[in-house]
Amino acid sequence: MRQVAWVDRGQSVSFEKQPEDGPRPNCVGVARLGSLQTSGTVFTVWMQLRGSAWVESREGRFRLRQREWIAFEKDSRPLIQASRDGLCIGVALDANALRTLGDLADSGLYAGHGLMSRAEARTALHLWREAQAREPGSHVLRPLLLHVASLQRDYSEGVQRCPGRSRLRKRQVFSRMQRARMYLEGNSHRVVRIGELAELTNFSSWYLSKTFQCLYEESPQSLSARLRLERAAMLLRDTDMMISEVAAASGFDNCCSFARAFRARFGVPASRYREAVCAGLPPQSAKSATASRKPMASVRT
């Protein structure tokens, strides 16, 4: 049994078909313009150790930067494309591996996206190398599985806040809510309808909206709007796109609605925001500069 699949230097590999020489590997890696697509039967966790990578999945499109991690449900079928200097390692977990994790840590894994510390990234690489170098067996993955679970340690509070009489039901609800949140993050270039999230999670629109609000203290519509504006701010910082192009790329129908929403969110017009960032100043300085340009009110005597 192969314990690792390494895709490098522009290679492209798909796990859609069962390999002829045995089961699919648990440890996977993508580097230097390589691309890999996992099958719809494994839960995957990816950790970006160097450079960046783009990820296409059922939940949308994501960019992974150094020391970020991202996890996908079994039917997400993520396609990972590493940048020229990118290095991304991952672990593909079938039902048996997920049961092993449940026995070890009394917890599950959920779709999500987060940031690792440098120590966590080093540990992940060390355990990944150990797992792929040793003889195959579920026991080989145990240290790596426990480390992956530790990246999601903050999720335990969210699980407890979910509705449900049993812990299993709470986990199921949290898993679906996390997937809805991921879908919003992966589609920050457009307006997402509640019906799309309801279909993805197999919940009613009413139940989804209510549970999402209780869990994240923000409605799906509010989160979608915030993510779209944060995407717009990123495009203003990192690209030379015109403001009208930034508005369109962030899901706004016209520049007027974009201008109002951006100023309400960041306190300054988009043009002032870009000027401040290009000058190496914090965006708050643009707000001060804008205020200084306003005419003084007349003083009655």
Identify the pLDDT of residue 15: 84
Q: What percentage of the chain has pLDDT greater than the value 70? A: 88
The verdict on residue 218 lying in a domain is no
How many domains are contained in the chain?
3
The verdict on residue 297 lying in a domain is no
Produce one character per residue of 160-188: b if its CB has 16 or more CB atoms within 10 Å, e if not. eebeeeeeeebbebbbbbbbbbbbbbbbb
Q: What is the mean pLDDT of residues 81-110?
A: 87
Using CA atoms, how far apart are residues 269 and 288, in angstroms rounded to an integer?
Answer: 12
Order of strands across the sheet that contains 35-37: 12-14, 35-37, 79-82, 53-57, 60-64
Identify the pLDDT of residue 68: 98
CATH code, domain carrying 265 = 1.10.10.60
Full-model pTM: 0.89
Distances (CA, A) of 279 to 230, 239, 263, 282, 293: 20, 14, 19, 9, 18
Same domain assignment for residues 180 and 148 = no
Same domain assignment for residues 140 and 9 = yes
Same domain assignment for residues 85 and 132 = yes
Domain termination residue (choose one: 102, 135, 153): 153
pLDDT tens for 30-55 read 999 999 999 888 999 999 999 999 99
When mean pLDDT is compared across 11-25, 123-137, 196-210, 211-225, the lowest value belongs to 11-25
218 or 2: whose pLDDT is higher? 218
The verdict on residue 272 lying in a domain is yes
Identify the pLDDT of residue 63: 96
Range of the domain at 251: 223-292
Query: What SS3 state is found at 215?
Result: helix
Range from 16-25, 234-243, 277-286 that averages highest in pLDDT? 234-243
Identify the pLDDT of residue 278: 83
List 278's β-bridge partners, or say none.
none
CATH code, domain carrying 110 = 2.60.120.280
| Model confidence at 65: pLDDT above 60 | yes
pLDDT tens for 109-131 read 999 999 999 999 999 999 999 98
Same domain assignment for residues 12 and 70 = yes
Distances (CA, A) of 237 to 65, 230, 246: 16, 11, 11
Same domain assignment for residues 113 and 177 = no
List 13's β-bridge partners, or say none.
36
